[in-house]
Structure 1
Amino acid sequence: MSDLRKTHLDRVAVISLLLCCLLWGLNQVAAKAALSEIGPLWQAGLRSLVAALLVWAWAQARGIKLFERDGSLRGGLLAGLLFGLEFACVFVGLQYTSASRMVVFIYLSPFVVALGMPFIAASERLNARQVSGLLLAFVAVAWAFSEGFGQANGNPRQWMGDALGVLAALFWGGTTLTIRASALSRSCAEKTLFYQLGVSGLGLCLAAALSGEAWPAVWTLRLSGLILFQTVIVSFASYLLWFWMVRHYPATRLASFTLATPMFGLLAGALLLNEVITLRLILALIALGIGLVLVNQRPKRQAK
């Protein structure tokens, strides 16, 4: 495939992004469902480690060199650290909040990218309308977050899970910015993903062992299926596609487009986990969507 960076999202990018958004929305539901049988850190670490092995096997089969010196080590280690922190927040947070709420807060990430990208690429500087989209999204998330205080549904610690979702969004945005600002922007998608999965997998499993988190006593068919979905379909296939797109398309537009994921996450949470979707959360999601449109709007070309 060509290494030329495109200036807009073409049909291939849009279809690929919609597929990724669907899978990522389902991923939150799968992670939440698996927590009844495996601890959050073991779950996050295991899926990263197994997916890293799959990426290595894929690269070997295609003759892609993952360990050659190309100046990407520093950026790769940082990206891997941020990636691991993101998923530690997500999986731990899911113990306190619903998958539906978590998926909304995580997707504050596009706006983190939108704020940071102008410092990396002047061509992705925001105009006034895009800034208004950021402000609208921030207000929407803050409004949805306030619902987590003083809950009458028997979950007084929901705000903790929501807060970890917001923190995860910051780490995800930081990962995307690290990729674009470092030598990873010139590395292949396989190497970019391998750094993140390998570093995060080792770190999360070590954290699980040091914290004394219990290993599953029995691996049921249900648990195996949930882990395989997260590992093979999400962490390997969809992330490989995502990081290829980060190299070839504008990061701000890619990241903002992923706000379609909360829609899939809300539907999946309601249909598969019987989670309650409040009016405030729906309105916040609509406001996030409007913010997406504003941030993703291409500036008009100035007349010559």
Structure 2
Amino acid sequence: MNTAAAIARPAPVRRAPDTFAIGLMVLLCAIWGLQQVAIKSTNGALGPMLQAGLRSTIAAVLVWGWARLRGTPLVRRDGTLGAGLLAGVLFAGEFVCIFAGLTLTSASRMAVFLYTAPCFTALGLHLFVPGERMRRLQWYGVALAFAGIALAFADGFTRSPAPGTSAVAGVLGDALGVLGGIMWASTTVVVRATSLSHTSASKTLFYQLTVSAVILLALAFALGEPRHVHVTPLALASLGYQAVAVAFVSYLTWFWLLTRYTASRLSVFSFLTPLFGVAFGVVLLGESFSSRFVLAAALVLAGIVLVNAPSRPASAD
């Protein structure tokens, strides 16, 4: 197939998430929520950029092996190189913003600002992908779910941004959280609005993992993180979970879902991720939560239901 044909071919029609897709998204959000606990348990042994870079490297090797096993070509001229490199840079930038921001602001504030991503995703898809346009009721659902996230982590706004940091540094950390959310959203929009929408989930993920591995490992060496490595069984187990379960299995599943279902309706489920993160923190780390968290979870679930409500005639909207 030549490049022109690949670009000219119309994108396949995506449908609203069914029970199978919803179940998969809930499972993915649980996996991503547990990742927060895994990262916390590894920060003392591996620097954040090194940790993220190694994760991408291991997962890229696994994706390459998976593609070879299935006979899926990863290196072929199909008009996706430019979009793939852009998606990889955005993917890496997201993690740079997250890890750098967490040194300047609290985890609670970072969670709120980072999870503006589904809002930006819905906006970007609405503007650039005709088949992803949302109705007024769905926008209300996005707003309701984000309000739930803000309520869940409202305590973070009454505390100092991060120990030992100034108010100005805290604002910068918050801004990095929003920028990380924009980059996360932009990655999804690039995957849906460019030639990547025609290619396999394996190739889409391979682009992001390889590009991000190069960028993140380069940053890790520039920051001198490899000189401060303390390998422990817990760190190895955590890195293995992040590389295999998160970066390989869950991301591959996510991009596979994007080839079949509307991304705007899928992305709103990611509001569940920080709630799972809190739940796992309670169960595994003995952290506590307030009754407000239960109300916040209800708002998030209500918002997801609104976004995924059955379509109505245009005249009724």
CA deviations 1:159-198 (Å, max 9, x no partner) are: 6655543332211111000001111000100000000000
* Conserved? CA contact 2:105–2:161, under 8 Å: no
Which residue does the alignment assign to 1:299? 311
Question: Which of 260, 283, 289 is the equivalent residue of 1:248?
Answer: 260
Percent identity of equivalent pairs: 44
3-state SS in 1 of match to 2:79: coil
Cα 1:131/1:152, change in 2 over 3 Å: closer
Matches for 1:232-247 after TM superposition, within 5 Å? 232-247=244-259
1:19 shift after superposition: 1.5
1:144 shift after superposition: 6.5
1:49 shift after superposition: 1.1
Which residue does the alignment assign to 2:133? 125
What amino acid is aligned across from residue 226 of structure 1 in structure 2?
Answer: S
Which residue does the alignment assign to 1:269? 281
* Conserved? CA contact 1:81–1:200, under 8 Å: yes
* Conserved? CA contact 1:44–1:91, under 8 Å: no
1:135 & 1:122 partners in 2: Cα distance?
A: 21
1:16 shift after superposition: 1.5
1:134 shift after superposition: 3.6
2:238 & 2:305 partners in 1: Cα distance?
A: 33
* Conserved? CA contact 1:41–1:91, under 8 Å: yes
1:21 shift after superposition: 1.0
* Conserved? CA contact 1:144–1:281, under 8 Å: yes
Which residue does the alignment assign to 1:25? 33
* Conserved? CA contact 2:112–2:153, under 8 Å: no
Question: Which of 52, 60, 68 is the equivalent residue of 2:60?
Answer: 52
Cα 1:59/1:142, change in 2 over 3 Å: same
- Please state if 1:193 is matched with 2:205: yes
Where has structure 1 moved over 6 Å in runs of 4 or more? 143-146
Cα 1:182/1:152, change in 2 over 3 Å: closer
What amino acid is aligned across from residue 231 of structure 1 in structure 2?
Answer: A
1:107 shift after superposition: 3.0
Which residue does the alignment assign to 1:74? 82
The alignment yields a C-alpha RMSD, in angstroms, of: 2.8
- In the superposition, the TM-score normalised over structure 2's length comes to 0.83
3-state SS in 2 of match to 1:219: coil
1:116 & 1:149 partners in 2: Cα distance?
A: 28
Matches for 1:198-209 after TM superposition, within 5 Å? 198-209=210-221
2:183 & 2:132 partners in 1: Cα distance?
A: 20
* Conserved? CA contact 2:110–2:177, under 8 Å: yes
- Please state if 1:222 is matched with 2:234: yes
Residues paired across the two proteins, number: 301
1:215 & 1:273 partners in 2: Cα distance?
A: 29
Question: Which of 121, 129, 135 is the equivalent residue of 1:113?
Answer: 121
CA deviations 1:17-59 (Å, max 9, x no partner) are: 1211110010111112111111111111110111111111111
* Conserved? CA contact 2:146–2:271, under 8 Å: no
Unaligned runs of 5+ in 1: none
* Conserved? CA contact 2:55–2:242, under 8 Å: yes
Q: Which moved more, 1:143-152 or 1:202-211?
A: 143-152
What amino acid is aligned across from residue 168 of structure 1 in structure 2?
Answer: G
1:184 & 1:19 partners in 2: Cα distance?
A: 25
1:285 & 1:11 partners in 2: Cα distance?
A: 20
Cα 1:141/1:222, change in 2 over 3 Å: closer
What amino acid is aligned across from residue 16 of structure 2 in structure 1?
Answer: H
3-state SS in 2 of match to 1:248: coil
Cα 1:262/1:142, change in 2 over 3 Å: closer
